[in-house]
Amino acid sequence: MKFQRLALIGCGLMGGSFALALRQAGLVQHITGFSASEKTRQRAVELGVIDQACDNVAQAVQGADLVLLAVPVGAMPSSFAAMREALQPSALLMDVGSTKCDVVAAARAALGERLNCLVPAHPIAGKEVAGIEHAESTLYQERRTILTPLPQNSIRQIKMASEVWTAIGSHVSHMTPEAHDATFAAVSHLPHLLAFAAVNALTAQSKGAGFLEMAGPGFRDFSRIAASEPAVWRDILSANHAEVLTQLAHFRSALDQFETALQSGNTAALQQLIQQASEVRSAWTLQAGNACNKASED
């Protein structure tokens, strides 16, 4: 498997790291790139992430046998529309969005007969720091990537998508877009929402700054994801709001149980609630993929 031409739409951390990884694995000959910001696409050339900066999506996609769409979820509909005419019928198109149902809906609305090109992907990787400057070829190593294939995809195309991610060190799983979004609302989107709210709850208090000075390693880790990029997470939470609200309702039920136990001084109930959480979390370990349990400690 070797691609003649990768078109990178969105030259940021995710896209840039994908390009670097593909190049390092010797899987691609030429990389064109487009970013909304001209400065960013020039920087991508300077850093050797892409070979050629293009002025628009269509120009970048022209002649590409592999296209990676790595823009914020909110910018995907217009990107799909912009590439439709330029997309080769045999091209493999993947996105890296953290939500999938909305991406599929946007693609369905904009790609027309080219919908079959798209194998939606969600590599579970990232950093708190965004931007092309932080791109690195190892970002996807030992990480899980979820593919949510469409009925329109060919077996050959799904296999190729899987091989690309595997070749750059990722562990590939398949899910439906719906199962994907329900799952990540539970284990990623809601935790982000809770971390954001916890930080805002501190800031809202007059003594909040003083409180924060005394916070320790527990708070550091608990709140790490609250430093995530606002525009990215606005899009993720908006796109998946129905599932996120469902998870929030589950969380509120669990929280109510703690509040009731605290208010009534029911220490036995409190201990039982904590014990349940502690046992589940102690038994849990980060899975790098179905075939590999090696934890990647980032």
Check residue 260 for interaction with a copy of itself (CB under 8 A). Answer: no
What region does 254 belong to: left with phi over 0, alpha with psi -120 to 50, or beta?
alpha
Q: Taking the mean position of all CA atoms in its chain, how far away is CA 94?
A: 12
- Within residues 142-181, the interface with a copy of itself by CB under 8 A covers 143-144, 146, 173
3-state secondary structure of 12: coil
Check residue 113 for interaction with a copy of itself (CB under 8 A). Answer: no
Check residue 138 for interaction with a copy of itself (CB under 8 A). Answer: no
Check residue 217 for interaction with a copy of itself (CB under 8 A). Answer: yes
Q: Which is nearer to a copy of itself, 10 or 123 (CB)?
A: 123
- The sign of the dihedral angle between the CA atoms of 287, 291, 297, 298 is negative
Q: How many residues are recorded in the chain?
A: 298
Member of 263, 291, 292, 294 binding a copy of itself (CB under 8 A): 263
120 close to 95: Cβ distance less than 8 angstroms? yes
- Within residues 226-245, the interface with a copy of itself by CB under 8 A covers 226-231, 233-234, 237-238, 241, 244-245
- Closest Cα partner for 190 from 229, 126, 240? 240
Check residue 75 for interaction with a copy of itself (CB under 8 A). Answer: no
Member of 90, 154, 156, 255 binding a copy of itself (CB under 8 A): 255
Least distance between a copy of itself and beta carbon 278 (Å): 5
Check residue 105 for interaction with a copy of itself (CB under 8 A). Answer: no
Residue 40 corresponds to which tokens in the numbers above? 């960013």
- The CA dihedral of 97, 100, 105, 110, to the nearest 10 degrees, is 30
Q: Which is nearer to a copy of itself, 63 or 191 (CB)?
A: 191
- Closest Cα partner for 111 from 143, 75, 91, 85? 85
Check residue 293 for interaction with a copy of itself (CB under 8 A). Answer: no
Least distance between a copy of itself and beta carbon 162 (Å): 17
CA dist 101 and 104 (Å) reads 5
3-state secondary structure of 87: coil
Check residue 291 for interaction with a copy of itself (CB under 8 A). Answer: no
- Within residues 189-208, the interface with a copy of itself by CB under 8 A covers 190-205, 207-208
CA dist 169 and 232 (Å) reads 24
Q: Which is nearer to a copy of itself, 27 or 105 (CB)?
A: 105
Check residue 27 for interaction with a copy of itself (CB under 8 A). Answer: no
Check residue 262 for interaction with a copy of itself (CB under 8 A). Answer: yes
